[in-house]
Amino acid sequence: MTQGRDHLPQRDLATALAEDPPSETAPVFVDFDHTLLGGNSTELYILSCRPHWMAAAIDFLVRDLIPWRLTGLPHWFRLRDYVCCLLLMLLMPWTILAWRRRAPALFAARASDSVAEALAPIDASRCVIVSFGMAWLIRPMLRGSRWDGVALLATPLTPSRSAFSRGKLALLDEAYGRRAVAASTAISDSLDDRDLLLAARQGILIPPQGETVAAAERRYFPLRYSIRAKYGLLHMLDKVLLVDFAILLLGTSRDLDDLLRHAISIPFLLLSLHCVYEMGYFENDMVAAKREAKPTLSKEVARFRDYPIQPSGWVWAIGLGVVGCLAAAFTRSTSSLELLPAITAWVILMVLLRLAFHFYNQQPVQGRLPLYAVLQMMKYLPVFFLIHPTMMGVLLALSQVAMMWIVYIVYRSGGDHKTLPKEMIRALFWAVGAGLLATTGRYSLWGSLLPVGLIAVWCLFRLAKPRLMELAKRRPSPALTRAK
């Protein structure tokens, strides 16, 4: 192997091939995504799937919610993308038929002109396209082009497990032998192919061709922006499922029957609320942050500048709200409202929430302090309007709002809000409120012992959260405990 190649600088392909032409008897291995194609075939396929909402739902559930890193695979993202594309093809079989029709024109429009020009003097029959993309997506793109019929090594429809753990060097060693690889020219835009680039006689690392576009950044789905660009998956699961959902469910339930009935409608109503909240988050990041001296932004935010959150967010918010109202009416969870008035009231409350968030985003930092409490209140008020809460439930929601407001005040005052005992503050507010209510002598305000006990248990569980997180961090990763 040539010395001094541990560092692989990007090079101009035409210049590199002119300085050191490929051997006429050796193969030329060429990457596909962002090399021959000015884009990513997997992302382009997902973007092409219709209807958009169904494809976005499958993409979100597979690629955003499943913790693929826990597989321990070094290239876990390849397995993730394969499963996503396979499910899209199986659950939406018309999409692969449409892809086969559109793919050749898509490749013609997005093929890298500079790479095609540099490879023009080389006989296409000597080239081998090597990709971790899906063979059944790449092959239709090549139809009718110069590369139609060339050898293609890519992820097959039924791959072995090793296909997701090996690099391209191992793949080509098996197919062509190490001697052929050592005499070859390898071309790629990615350092993921470092093993092949170093093993080939001439490994050429070129700049990525075309724009990097992820389907997730072009197709709306509830909570996607919050997870990818703002808070992360674990934080959102904790925030939405273990806090907001728990407060709404426990706060509206008087007995076990209520718990079961409300557990059907509240998830839809809560997701509807968060669709509107996401619009506010997006507006805050894209517009309001420009007014702040030190905005707190995720590096992912810039990638979502073309995210179609409106009107898609409203479509999902209203749709989920209608389903939630229907579920509440079917399970007889609503207060005294009939179905149509309940839906109307829900839509009005969503509009008011959006206006409140918009007004919040227009204010200077100090002017946002009182409005932040209003926004926190609006996480619970719309649901409580449809499904009447217990007194203990109101106290619990009020304790959550007060705790979040205190954290926000400390944050905006320049203090270290991360060290605040948030769970203790909430639990103390609720316990103090419950104790003060007991002094009225009207113990009926407490409701039955079951919901009060469940709320108390939930508060204790949340108090134990910091300790549980500390224990989880100490636990070794499965990938580290696997035998080498």
Domains of the chain in sequence order: 13-216 (3.40.50), 220-234+257-384 (no CATH), 390-473 (no CATH)
Mean pLDDT across 364-381: 92
DSSP label of 37: B
pLDDT in tens, 416-439: 888 899 999 999 999 999 888 888
Model pTM score:
0.84
pLDDT in tens, 19-61: 988 988 899 999 999 999 999 999 999 999 999 999 999 999 9
Q: What pLDDT was estimated at residue 8?
A: 81
pLDDT in tens, 228-259: 888 888 889 999 999 999 999 999 998 889 89
DSSP label of 33: B
Mean pLDDT across 265-283: 95
Neighbour count for residue 104 (Cβ, 10 Å): 16
Rounded to whole angstroms, the Cα distance separating 454 from 263 reads 15
Neighbour count for residue 457 (Cβ, 10 Å): 11
Neighbour count for residue 139 (Cβ, 10 Å): 17
In this structure, which long-range contacts are made by residues 293-299, counting pairs with CB atoms below 8 Å and at least 24 apart in sequence?
298/229, 298/230
